[in-house]
Amino acid sequence: MEQQTATSEVLGVISSSPGELNPVFNAMLENAVRLCEAEFGHLYLCDKEAFHPAALHSASQDLGMLLRRRPVVLRGLHPDAPLSRMARTKAVVDIADVRLEKIYVEREPTFSEFVDVSGARAILIMPMLKENELIGAFVIYRLEVRPFTDKQIALVKNFAAQAVIAIENARLLNELRERTADLTESLEQQTATSEVLRVISSSSGNLQTVFDTMLTEATDLCEASYGLMWLREEDAFRAAALYGDLPQAYRDQWRSGTRYRPGPETILSRVTASGRPIQVPDLRIDPSYLIGDPLPVAAADVAGVRTLLGVPMLRDTEVVGFIGIYRKEIRPFTEKQVTLVTNFAAQAVIAIENTRLLNELRQSLEQQTATSQVLSVISSSPGELEPVFQAMLTNATRICEAVFGNLYLYEADAFRMVAAHHDSPAYVAARTRNPLLRPPPDAPLGRLAITKQMVQVADIRTLPSRDHPFVAAGVAAGYRTVLAIPLLKDDELIGAFTMIRQEVRAFTDKQIALLTNFARQAVIAIENARLLKELREMLEQQTATADVLGVISSSPGELEPVFQTVLENATRICGANFANLLLYENGAFRRAALFGAPPSWREDAFRDPVIRPNETNPIFRIMKNKEVVIIPDLAADQAYLQREPAVVAVVEKAGARSIIAVPMLKEDELVGLIAVFHQEIRPFTDKQISLLQNFAAQAVRH
């Protein structure tokens, strides 16, 4: 009861101090020393170089000073020192009287000093292991010669295991907090980008509004004092927008429309020459200021500029403008801030280009409207890709005067169609039957996969591979001219748009530009959906683990609520239909808990709860190998084909298809298993497997 109470107290501290290790270590150490009838103890954390004291309990002032004075360097430890033996063997070191140790008798300086200062006699050193990697140790001391009992050693071992879990949970929580902070920052940037895009879409032909909004957002998000945007006109630049509390004389000079021809040392010239963002940490020691160029001298002496960032506005490889962000103190901009301004610069170029197109063609208005609709769908459907893809295809097909439109994702060197617009039912059905498509090299998608570039084929009926099943399906659907646009992320192919006409008529450069813009937006939407999905999964897994730990801490000695909570969370996180938990007893398994099981199978399961698996039953594999077993399709497994009764029942009465079974192990001894079932053929992810293993470990410890 004392041990259960101590464990419950420790779990209470863990659950009430998420991410904080000091109170957890102190609670563990205090309980370990007390229950082991010891006088004092300490806890080390270990890296590859040394042991570092992380917690002390009841240690004398002299001992505390000795422990904190220096870390215990591994390579400096005497090989016979108890801590060295534990580090070498990763096993418990239990010494009834350290003063009988040879290393003490021979008065090895470091060890004998420690023993004399501490007054230690009996000592217990318990390693903290994570996947057989030493990460720390509990050290418990008595001032009398009295060995520790097996139960006391087992208790400290349990605390060591809990400490490892607490360290891992703290690491995961800190990662989640960092990811949340990054996501918050990313959300602010996405919101600002969305606002800029909204202004772009609502201010057709009015570039000044776009530039002012863009410069305001960029300057504020980068915690800068001022912002300026310059447009390039042949060999000179003209200020197009200013933001911030700039001195009136400086503002009047550049609002007058004055064209500035920068000297070779100015940041404008250097950014133009390189085509890359450039930072100046301190303008007052920059060569352009020191040689007296008028622009940097005015910026430093009149406006008080110190640190500045210059980002080129690029159309292809041509510099068409420049965004400058300025601080009045010496403080460099971060990589994320540079990326943000670079994105705004790209959006500025898009705005300029879109305005030019609007002035040239009435059709450009339709392109802006279509882009606005797609962005609206993106902003209103966070994490949902289907409405985004459909909005893109609908608008692209209409504006490009195409008949059909498809969107593919690229995975495992193959294409998978994820959205279609107005395509023939027969073609969509063919793509559904064969979801992973590997087109021939001369087909539009085949060439795109090789080159990662836009491909246009005037008439697919003239292709040498027209009899290939992939191309033949398109020919049968009436395909003639086909345009394929790649979806690229960091030069990695992740998908493609295809636009199809039922006549031989090439797509124009403006239509290709629209589709290229949609492709960029699609990549952003896919990346945002991935990040949001990862965050949701992490939060779900953290919540599930917290739920299980909460039930464990609130139900000491009660197995049923713990098992039900484990199965409920396992089923939810895995997106599964039902799950059960079996306990292993005397060569057989007994069903201890079910969650979500169909009633007909549930009745059978509890009517005969004991399973004695033969060699064809998948459960036998866990008995034999004590490893995770995953069966993609239970109905195609040997056990079902050989009509093993338990497998036949779960397939035919419960509708089980995909299954994962995770062993519950205690020191490599099989205690039971957790099995989770899909009623469809669907794989389990690595994260889901890891979570189930964590649940199994928690269940075993309870």
* Highest averaged pLDDT of the listed ranges 200-214, 334-348, 513-527, 605-619: 334-348
Instruction: Give the list of residues 6+ apart from residue 533 with CB closer than 8 angstroms, or none.
Output: 383
CATH architecture of the domain formed by 558-701: 2-Layer Sandwich (3.30)
What sign has the CA pseudo-torsion 436, 442, 445, 451?
A: positive
Is the pLDDT at 198 greater than 70, yes or no?
no
Instruction: Give the list of residues 6+ apart from residue 46 with CB closer than 8 angstroms, or none.
Output: 52, 87, 128, 134, 135, 136, 137
In this prediction, residue 168 has a pLDDT band, given cuts at 50, 70 and 90, of confident
Phi, psi of 37 (to 5 degrees): 55, 40
pLDDT at 561: 86
CA distances from 317 to 273, 473, 518 (A): 11, 40, 21
Residue length of the chain: 702
pLDDT at 254: 73
Q: Higher-confidence residue: 177 or 348?
A: 348
Neighbours of 200 (CB within 10 A): 25
pLDDT more than 70, % of the chain: 84
In this prediction, residue 540 has a pLDDT band, given cuts at 50, 70 and 90, of low
* DSSP of 269-310: HHHHHH-S-EEES-GGGSHHHHTT-HHHHHHHHTS---EEEE
pLDDT at 376: 60
> What would the CATH number be for the domain defined by 2-171?
3.30.450.40
pLDDT at 281: 93
Instruction: Give the list of residues 6+ apart from residue 194 with CB closer than 8 angstroms, or none.
Output: 375, 379
Q: Higher-confidence residue: 533 or 325?
A: 325
- Which two structure tokens, joined as six digits, stand for 84? 């060295």
Give the whole-angstrom CA distance, residue 330 versus residue 309.
12
Is the pLDDT at 443 greater than 90, yes or no?
yes
Domains 2-171 and 203-359 share a fold: yes
pLDDT at 298: 86
pLDDT at 302: 86
pLDDT at 400: 84
Is the pLDDT at 278 greater than 70, yes or no?
yes
User: What distance lies between CA 591 and its chain's CA centroid?
Assistant: 36
Is the pLDDT at 178 greater than 80, yes or no?
no
In this prediction, residue 502 has a pLDDT band, given cuts at 50, 70 and 90, of very high
Q: What is the pLDDT of residues 379-396, one digit of tens each?
A: 565 556 677 778 778 888
When mean pLDDT is compared across 55-64, 353-362, 404-413, 608-617, the lowest value belongs to 353-362
Q: What is the pLDDT of residues 574-590, one digit of tens each?
A: 889 999 999 998 888 88
Q: Return the ∠ at Cα 685 (arms to 695 and 18), rounded to 5°.
A: 45
CA distances from 546 to 136, 540, 549, 581, 694 (A): 24, 10, 5, 20, 12
Domain 371-526 has CATH 3.30.450.40: yes
Q: Which residues of 642-669 are buried (b: 16+ CB within 10 A; e: fewer)?
A: eebebbbbbbebbbbbbbbbbbbbeeee
Strand order in 133-142's β-sheet?
72-73, 50-57, 40-46, 133-142, 122-130, 93-95
| Contact call for residues 375 and 194 (beta carbons, < 8 A) | yes
pLDDT more than 90, % of the chain: 23
| Contact call for residues 612 and 623 (beta carbons, < 8 A) | no
Is the pLDDT at 445 greater than 50, yes or no?
yes
When mean pLDDT is compared across 162-166, 258-262, 304-308, 527-531, the lowest value belongs to 527-531
Give the whole-angstrom CA distance, residue 172 versus residue 179.
10
Q: What is the pLDDT of residues 12-33, one digit of tens each?
A: 666 566 667 888 888 888 888 8
Is the pLDDT at 365 greater than 50, yes or no?
no
Strand order in 307-315's β-sheet?
259-260, 236-243, 226-233, 318-327, 307-315, 278-280
In this prediction, residue 93 has a pLDDT band, given cuts at 50, 70 and 90, of very high
Task: Please name every residue paired with 437 in a beta bridge, in sequence order, or none if there are none.
Answer: 415
pLDDT at 418: 84
**Residue ranges per structural domain of the chain:** 2-171, 203-359, 371-526, 558-701
- Which two structure tokens, joined as six digits, stand for 590? 């007994």
3-state secondary structure 359-409: HHCCHHHHHHHHHHHHHHHHHHCCCCHHHHHHHHHHHHHHHCCCCEEEEEE
- Which helix (H) or strand (E) segment holds residue 242: the answer is strand 236-243
**Average pLDDT over the chain, rounded to whole?**
83
Give the whole-angstrom CA distance, residue 354 versus residue 314.
14
When mean pLDDT is compared across 85-99, 109-123, 541-555, the lowest value belongs to 541-555
Angle between helices 294-301 and 248-255 (to 10 degrees): 150
- Which two structure tokens, joined as six digits, stand for 544? 């599930």
Q: What is the DSSP letter of 147?
A: P
In this prediction, residue 555 has a pLDDT band, given cuts at 50, 70 and 90, of low
pLDDT at 24: 82
Is the pLDDT at 500 greater than 70, yes or no?
yes
What sign has the CA pseudo-torsion 187, 192, 198, 200?
A: negative
The closest alpha carbon to 262, from 243, 235, 280, belongs to 235
Domain 203-359 has CATH 3.20.20.70: no
Q: Torsion angle of alpha carbons 252, 258, 262, 263, nearest 10°?
A: -90
Q: Higher-confidence residue: 67 or 272?
A: 272
The closest alpha carbon to 342, from 313, 321, 317, belongs to 313
pTM: predicted TM-score of the whole model, two decimal places: 0.35
If DSSP codes are grouped into helix, strand and coil, which group holds residue 509?
helix
